[in-house]
Amino acid sequence: MNPEKTLTTLRDELRKFAQERDWQPFHTPKNLAMALIVEAAELVEHFQWLSPEQSASLDEKTQEEVAQELADIQIYLARLADVLGVDLMEAAYRKLAINAAKYPVETARGSAAKYRPNRL
């Protein structure tokens, strides 16, 4: 990964992208959340009829399409975080600490049903 390309630089690029096109009025949190879930569904669509095993060994064409869907989600996520004034990386690390406390290693091993709602 290019060390100069980070979530911070992506955020700035997206801000400029929206400004240059006068698209800020459309970028309300409500609208961006909708756009984000639409992109998430385009990702899900690639996997809907695949077995779990098939989903782990995509052909080259699907792999590239899926990578572009992941990119779209990252883009809307970074843009929405910016509009809301949320530091995405800080929030992610903070959530990770919460999850680590919630699912201690010793008790969370394997498939215990009580941990089903979450796996990260």
Which of the residues 30 through 69 are near a copy of itself (CB under 8 A)?
A: 30-31, 33-38, 40-53, 55-56, 58, 63, 66-68
Rounded Cα distance, 44 and 110, in Å: 25
Query: Least distance from C-beta 48 to a copy of itself, angstroms?
Result: 4
CB of 81 to a copy of itself, least distance (A): 5
Binding to a copy of itself (CB under 8 A): which residues in 74-113?
Answer: 74-81, 83-84, 86-96, 98-100, 103, 105, 108-111
Structure-derived torsion over alpha carbons of residues 52, 53, 58, 62, reported in degrees to the nearest 10: -20
Query: Measuring CA to CA, which residue among 69, 86, 1 is closest to residue 35?
Result: 69
23 counts as binding a copy of itself under rule CB under 8 A: yes
Report the residue from 8, 60, 65, 101 that binds a copy of itself according to the rule CB under 8 A.
8
Alpha-carbon distance values, 97 to 34, 67, 77, 87 (Å) = 28, 28, 21, 16
